[in-house]
Homo-oligomer: A and B are copies of this chain.
Amino acid sequence: MSDLELPPPPWQRPAAKRPRTPRAPLSRDQIVEAGLRLVIEEGVDAVSMRRVAGRLHTGASSLYAHVANKEELLLLMFDRICGQITVPPPQPQRWREQLKDVMRQGHEVLLRHNDFARTAIASVPSGPNALLITEAMLAILLSAGVKRQVAAWALDRMFLYITADAYEVSLERGKIGELSSQLADYFGDLPASHFPNIRANADVLTAGNSADRFEFGLDLLVEGIARSLEKREPGGD
């Protein structure tokens, strides 16, 4: 019967309402974009679920409504990257140059994304964009007369090469200059009793930049394929 109104005791206070900022719902695209931005700015190790979510002003667990796990996110990011590569219709007389062009593009696209190639190495290129590239390169090889099995396996090897080299280059990126000269000195200082050839060739072992080496490897692969055009089908000998 008392008209006196007391404040509610602490044990009866209603739970604080969880503030919810009204905003457009998250999307997978946004998550992928945020992840790629982080890669470009800080490298692949910066892509944690918390960091990605922070970029979108949400929480890490919110991402799991859109991607199954981090691995799926990285795969999506990879396929998004593959979408930046343009593939040409096959010109049989120029198959070598066409192959190299696509491979160079792939390499460059990866390098534009810091050390993301580390993830690419571990990924099966099965997203829509990656498959379009596979399709185009396969068409180029087949149009050149390369045997089916050679074409298939060469594709596989080329993909491996691009991603592995891009990863390696990304690791050296911050230290390409100092590492080379230090390595040359190191090689030159090795004991002659065990390392005569390395000592004598320290200059060429440390020569060239990463682009030189990548191109050299492209040549090896493409020349190796060319040689197969002059031979029997593999796996048949």
Contact = CB atoms under 8 A, between A and B. Distances in A.
Nearest to A143: B197
B164 A194 contact: no
B152 A197 contact: no
Contacts of A223: 223-224, 227-228
Interface string A189-217: 01000111110010011011000110011
A149 interface: yes
B224 A171 contact: no
A89 to B, nearest CB: 12
A11 interface: no
B224 A126 contact: no
A110 interface: no
A217 B164 CA distance: 14
A201 B154 CA distance: 13
Given A160-B168, A161-B164, A223-B227, 8 more contacts: A121-B168, A122-B171, A132-B195, A138-B197, A148-B204, A153-B216, A157-B217, A164-B164
Interface of A: 121-122, 124, 126, 131-132, 134-135, 138-139, 142, 148-157, 160-161, 163-165, 167-168, 171, 179, 183, 186, 190, 194-198, 201, 204-205, 207-208, 212-213, 216-217, 219-228, 234-235
25 contacts: A121-B164, A122-B168, A122-B171, A124-B183, A126-B186, A131-B198, A135-B197, A148-B204, A149-B204, A149-B207, A149-B208, A152-B205, A153-B212, A154-B216, A156-B205, A161-B161, A208-B235, A212-B235, A219-B224, A221-B221, A223-B223, A223-B224, A224-B224, A226-B227, A227-B227
